[in-house]
Amino acid sequence: MTDPVAAYKLLRRLRNDLIHITSKRQRALSCRYSTGGGNPRLIYAPVKEEVEWDEPRGVSKIRTSQSVFLEEGNTVVARVNQRIADITGLSMKSAEDLQVQNYGIGGRYEPHYDAEDNENERIATFLLYMSDVSLLFKGSAVFWYNLHKNGNVDLNTEHARCPVLRGNKWVANKWIHEFGQEFRRPCSLSYWE
């Protein structure tokens, strides 16, 4: 596992942000083992969770990767989807199929939001790394909510993939949608959350 504070500082520096980590923020950058609130499938093999970023932030959609959507009929794909459901606690019923992406040299994805003004919006993104990519290792994954609980797009979720300079990179992403999450991630009427 990477040191979350070091990773945070590096990411901030890459974005030319001022590095200002308060002790409260530092405590939020924690590392833990999670059983997803006692999910039987995760009790024997808890998931390592690392909070690396406390305020996600990041508009055109230009991507130079080759990609394919994998349908759930395949047992391996079904297992991966089940695992994502277990880890996130979200329903995969309205999610898009698992998408595998391969970026070659120069392959990139310009800054964008995953939420694209859909009626059934992409509430969250689960990104699996199938090769080592800078701070993230093969087998790890990143998860974030694209929407606030009040349904507004979290403008801090803008993100990009920097061009690949060496080797090539494999990832898979699961775009999870709002429908079916009503009781799993209840909405809020607050302007602030």
Ligand X SMILES: O=C(O)CCC(=O)C(=O)O
> Site residues (CB under 6 A) for ligand X?
101, 109, 114, 125, 127, 159, 161, 171, 173
Structure-token pair, residue 71: 């349908």
Using CB under 5 A, pick the residue from 114, 121, 154, 178 that binds Fe ion.
114
Q: How far, in Å, CA of 193 to CA of 165, rounded? A: 38
Number of residues located near Fe ion, criterion CB under 5 A: 1
The residue (of 85 and 133) whose beta carbon lies closer to ligand X is: 133
Cα 122 to Cα 149: distance, rounded to the nearest angstrom: 13
**CB-wise, 66 or 150, nearer to ligand X?**
66
For ligand X, the closer of residues 168 and 188 by Cβ is: 168
Part in contact with Fe ion (CB under 5 A); list of ranges 5-13, 85-93, 110-118, 141-149:
110-118
Nearer to Fe ion, 114 or 154 (CB): 114
Interacting residues with Fe ion (CB under 5 A) = 114
